[in-house]
Chains A and B, each alone.
Chain A
Amino acid sequence: MRKIWDIHGGVHPPENKIQSNQKPIGVMPLPDWVSLPLNQHVGAPARPLVKVGDHVKTAQLIADAEGFVSAPVHASLSGKVVAIENRPIPHASGMQAPCIVIESDGEDTWTELQPCENYMDLQAEILLEKVRSAGIAGLGGAGFPTAVKLQPDANKKIDTLILNGTECEPYITADDVLMREQANDIIAGAQLMAKLLDNPRILIGVEDNKPEAIKALTDAAQNTAIEIISFPTKYPSGGEKQLIQILTGKEVKSGTLPSEIGIVLQNVGTAVAAFQAIKDGIPLIERVTTVVGRSLQIQRNVHVRLGTPIQHLLSQHGFDENNCARIIIGGPMMGYTVDSISVPVIKTTNCVLVPSEDEMPTPPPTQPCIRCGHCADACPANLLPQQLYWYSQAQDFEKLQAHHLMDCIECGACSYVCPSAIPLVQYYRASKGAIRQQQIDKQKSDRARLRFEAHKERVEKAEAEKEAKRAARKKAAEEARKKIDLTKSQPAEKSDTAKLDPVAAAMAKAANTKADPADEKAKIERNLESARNRLARFNHQLNDARNENDEARAGKLEPKIKQTELKISELENKLAQMAKT
C-alpha cells in the first residue's frame, strides 16, 4: 500500500452518485442542430474556417486554434452551417458568444479520418500535433488546452503524470462510468501522454467510493508500471492542487503551475480523448456527460455530441420543466446555473443537473456571521473564510490579499458548512474580480505615469539645451561686442572691414543654403516620410478613439489628419517638380 497524504479541511456532502452510475453509458440520438462556441476552452477563441451556407461533414475542422493557448473546433455532425453569430453559451453570467451553428442533414457523414495503429512508434512531436489538432481541452471542467500541458519544456523535467479520476463532486459520475467501461483506453491514453512527457511515472488517483472503476483500472493496468491509487472520499480531493497533495505530499507553490514541481495532471476523460484522437483519428466531437436530477425520469450518463442543446439532452430523459428548480452545469458544489435550456454541451460540460425544489431548496435568507469557524475547518486551502468575508464586506483589498484570497479555489466547502447560509464564494469571486481590476488599473496608471515622467524629462532636457545654446550665443555676442569695442578703439581704417564682415557672412550663408538639388530632394523625401508616418499614427489614434467612443479626441484628430494629408500632397508635388527639372 502506497503512502497517501491528507488535505486540510474538506467536507462530506451527500454523494448522490447512485442515481446515474448504475446504467451503462447511453448514446444520444443526433440533435437537429448543434451550436459550437468558438471558445470552449481556456485561452483565445478559435478562428472560423467555414462560411454560412457551407456544407460540413462530421469531424471536419471548422475553426482553427488562434495562438498558442487555444484549441480548434470540429463539426460534431454533418449538415449546413446556418449561422456564425452570438448565441447563448454555458457561462455563469448568461452571456452570449460567437458560435458556429450547424443544421443536421440527418446523414452524419464523416470526413475521412486518419487512424494510426502503430502510434507508439510515432515521434513525440507528431503525437503532440495530433493532440493539438484534435481540439482536446481538459474534459474535467477547467478546459485547459491539453497539448499546451503536454508540451515538453526543456527547463522543467516532469517526473509524475497524474490522471485524475477522483470526481469528488456529488452527482457527477461521468468519469466513474468512463473508467468502468473504457479502462483500457484510459491506460493507453496515459501511456501516450507519458511518452510526450519523456516517460514520467504514472499515477491514477480514484476516490474509494468507486470500487468498480478502481477494479477495472487495476485490471487494465496489469503488466504496466501504472499505479492506481485509491484514497478516502472527501470533497474537494479532486481539485488539482488537492489531488497532487494527496498523492505526492507536495504543494504547488502559490501562483505557479504544477509543472514547476515536475507534475502534470490530466483528467481520465482527456486521456481517452487523446487516445482516440491518435489511434482512430477522431477529433474531440463528443463527450460523456452526466444527466441527473429529480426532475428527470431517466438519470444516467450519455455520450453526447458537442454543441447539442441541453434542451435536446433533457427532453430525451423525460424532463419535467415545472418540477425543475434550477439548471446547473457541473456539480452542486462548483457548478453554475444557466437560465436558458438552449445552451449547448461543450468540451467542459461534465454534468447537467436539474434538481427539483425539494432536492435543492431555495437558500434561506442569509444570517449574520457568528465567526463559528466551521468554514476555516472546511477550507482545503487553509484560509480563514470568516475573515475573508469580513474584509470582502469592507472591500479591504489589502487585507484580503494579506489573507491570501487569491489562493481560494472557490470549491464552496465554506459556504456548504456555513450555518448562517452566507454565499461566501460569491463574495470572494466579487472581491477577486475587483482586485484584478484594481491591478489592471494600477498597471495602466503606472504606465501613464512613466510616460508622463519621460515626457517631462524630454521637455526639460530640450529646454536645458535651448538654455545652453542661448547662453552660448549671448556669450558669443558679448565677446563680439567686446571685439567691436576693441576695434573701435583701434585705428579707423579697419572699421570698414569690420562693418563689411556681417554682410559678407550673410552672403556666404545664403550661398550655402542654396545647396545642391540632391540634398534638397533628400530633405523633402525625409519630410514626406515623416509626414506619412505621422498620418499613419493619427489614423491609428483615430481608430482607437472611435473604438473607445471618445468623440472629443476623434474630433481633435480629424483636422490634424487633414493638415498632414495637405502637407503630404504639397511635398509630393514638390518632388514631382524636382523630378521634372
Chain B
Amino acid sequence: MSFLRASSPHAHSALTTARVMQWVLLATLPGLAALTVFFGIGSLINIALACIFALLFEAAVLKLRKRNALIYLRDCSALVTAVLLGLALPPYCPWWVVMLGVFFAIVVAKHLFGGLGYNPFNPAMVGYVALLISFPVEMTQWAAPSTLSNASASFPPIVESLTHVFSHDTLDGYTAATPLEVLKLREGLTLDTLYTNEAIFNQARWAGVGWEWVNIGFLIGGIFLLYKRVFTWHAPVAMLATLTLCSFLFYDAGGSQSAGSPLFHLLSGGTMLGAFFILTDPVSSAVSNKGRLIFGGLAGVIIFVIRVWGIYPDAIAFAVLLMNFAAPFIDYYTVPRTYGHNRAHRVTKIKE
C-alpha cells in the first residue's frame, strides 16, 4: 500500500479559477440585461459570436502550443474575455468585426504572450482598441435607446438585426449619438440648455437614457463580485473616486465650458463596466492593494482627460492599456511592509 506523498498544505479551499471566472460571467448579467432592454439583442448577438470565436481560437492556439485544450478551456477565461469584448462592442456590429476583435484578444494579446496569467495587457481591451483604430465607423455606431421617444424607430427586429450582423449593411436607421458624444459636440451650450433640449437627457433620470441603467447594472454586478471577494475594492473605488474628483473640479457650474457633472461621468459610457470588470483583471493590473489604488486612480484621471480633451468620446480601453504598461513599474514601488521589517522598501534596491 503506498500513500500519497504531497507537500503541505493538504487542505484546500473550494475556490477554483473556473469558479472565479463563472462568477464574473454571472455578474455581467444585470448590465447585459439593461443593454438588451434599451438597445435590443445586439449585445446578445455580439456575445454569442464572441464566445464561439473565442472558444475556436483558444482551442486552435492551445493545439498549436501542444497543450491539453480540454483542461484549459474549462477554466472559462476565454469566455470571460469574449463576454467582456462582446459587451464593449457596439450592438449589431458586423460578425467579422467581432471575429477580428476576438482574434486580437485571444491570439495576439493572450496566447502570443504566454497564455492565461502571462498577458501584460487586458486581452478584451487590446481587441477593442485594435478594432477602434482600424474600423472607426463600425465601432462608433451605437444603436439608439429604444425608449427614446423621438428615435426614428425602436430597435430592429431579430431578422433585420441578423442581416445587419452578417451582411455589410449600415445600421443608419437605428443609431444615435451616445450621451458622451452629445456632450462633447454640444458647441458651447450650457449643461442646462443641453439637458432641456436633448431627448437623451431630458427623458433620463440622472445621466442619459439607457446608459444610466446599463452602468447601474454593471455596478450591481461589481458589488456582487466584491461581496464574493473575487477582487478587492481598491482599483475600482480609486478609479471612480478620481473620475468623480476630476469631473467635480471641471464641472464649472454647468456652464458652456463644463466637462460634465460627476454623476454624468459615473453613469455614462463604459464607466462601471471598466471599473468593475476591466480594471479588476488581476493578470494585467498591479499586485498590491496600494498598487491597485494608484493603478485605478490614474486610470480614472486618464479616462477623464481623454473624454474631455481627447478625440475619442470614451476612453476606458485606452486608460486600461496605458495603466497596464505602468503596472510593473507601480509594483516595484508599492511592495507592502513585510512582518518584522521596519518599513516598506523598493524592490529595485537589491542588497549587495
A residues engaging B (CB < 8 A)? 8, 11, 13-14, 94, 170, 241, 245, 251-256, 321-322, 324-328, 330, 332-339, 353, 355, 360, 362-365, 367-374, 376-377, 380-384, 386-387, 398-399, 401-404, 407, 410, 412-413, 415-421, 423, 425-426, 429
Contacts and interface: CB of A to CB of B under 8 A. Distances in A.
A384 B336 contact: yes
B6 A335 contact: no
A370 B110 CA distance: 12
A188 B206 CA distance: 71
Contact of A407 (B3, B339, B347): B339
Given A334-B9, A384-B336, A425-B9, A377 B15 contact: no
Interface in B95-126: 115-118
A367 B17 contact: yes
- Report which residue of B3, B10, B12, B13 has the largest number of chain A beta carbons within 10 angstroms of its beta carbon: B10
Contacts of B338: 254, 381-383, 404, 407
A251 B7 contact: no
Given A254-B340, A372-B282, 4 more contacts: A13-B13, A245-B339, A370-B77, A372-B20
Contact of B351 (A364, A381, A401): A401
A321 B11 contact: no
A252 B350 contact: no
B117 A416 contact: no
Contacts of A382: 336-339
A40 to B, nearest CB: 20
Interface in B309-326: none
B1 interface: yes
Contact of A326 (B3, B9, B231, B232): B3
A333 B9 contact: yes
Given A387-B331, A403-B335, A417-B13, A376 B288 contact: yes
Given A363-B6, A363-B12, A373-B287, A8 B17 contact: no
A368 B114 CA distance: 10
Nearest to A423: B7
A380 B71 CA distance: 32
Contact of B350 (A332, A371, A399, A410): A399
A370 B13 contact: no
B133 interface: no
A368 to B, nearest CB: 4
A88 B306 CA distance: 68
A419 B15 contact: yes
Given A402-B351, A412-B8, A423-B7, A407 B340 contact: yes
B339 A381 contact: yes
Nearest to A414: B9
B11 A416 contact: yes
A383 B335 CA distance: 8
Contact of B16 (A14, A326, A419): A419
Interface in B220-272: 229-232
Interface of B: 1-13, 15-17, 19-20, 71, 75, 77, 115-118, 229-232, 282-283, 285, 287-289, 331, 335-341, 345, 347, 349-351
B234 to A, nearest CB: 10
- Report which residue of B19, B115, B336, B351 has the largest number of chain A beta carbons within 10 angstroms of its beta carbon: B336
A325 B331 CA distance: 41
A84 B164 CA distance: 86
Contacts of A322: 1
A392 to B, nearest CB: 13
B288 A416 contact: no
A205 B47 CA distance: 55
Given A241-B340, A384-B336, A371 B283 contact: yes
20 contacts: A241-B339, A256-B340, A326-B4, A367-B16, A367-B75, A370-B116, A370-B282, A372-B231, A381-B338, A381-B339, A382-B338, A401-B351, A413-B9, A419-B17, A419-B20, A420-B16, A420-B17, A420-B117, A421-B12, A429-B7
- Report which residue of B3, B77, B115, B339 has the largest number of chain A beta carbons within 10 angstroms of its beta carbon: B339
B9 to A, nearest CB: 3
A14 B3 CA distance: 23
A252 B340 contact: yes
B62 to A, nearest CB: 12
A376 B115 CA distance: 22
Contact of A415 (B9, B283, B287, B350): B9
Contact of B118 (A355, A368, A421, A426): A368
A198 to B, nearest CB: 26
Contacts of B350: 398-399, 401-402
A369 B8 contact: no
B51 to A, nearest CB: 19
A382 B341 CA distance: 10
Given A324-B3, A376-B288, A386-B287, A254 B341 contact: yes
A170 B16 CA distance: 21
A330 B11 CA distance: 12
Contact of B287 (A252, A376, A420): A376
Contacts of A372: 20, 230-231, 282
A419 B19 contact: yes
A92 to B, nearest CB: 8
Contact of A384 (B288, B340, B351): B288
B287 A360 contact: no
A333 B7 CA distance: 10
B10 A321 contact: no
Contacts of B75: 367
A332 B9 contact: yes
A415 B12 contact: yes
Contacts of A423: 7
B283 to A, nearest CB: 5
Contacts of B15: 374, 417, 419
A181 to B, nearest CB: 27
Contacts of B282: 370-373
Contacts of B16: 364, 367, 419-421
Contacts of A326: 3-6, 10
Contacts of B345: 402
A380 B340 CA distance: 11
- Report which residue of B4, B118, B285 has the largest number of chain A beta carbons within 10 angstroms of its beta carbon: B4
Given A384-B287, A384-B288, A407-B340, A365 B347 contact: no
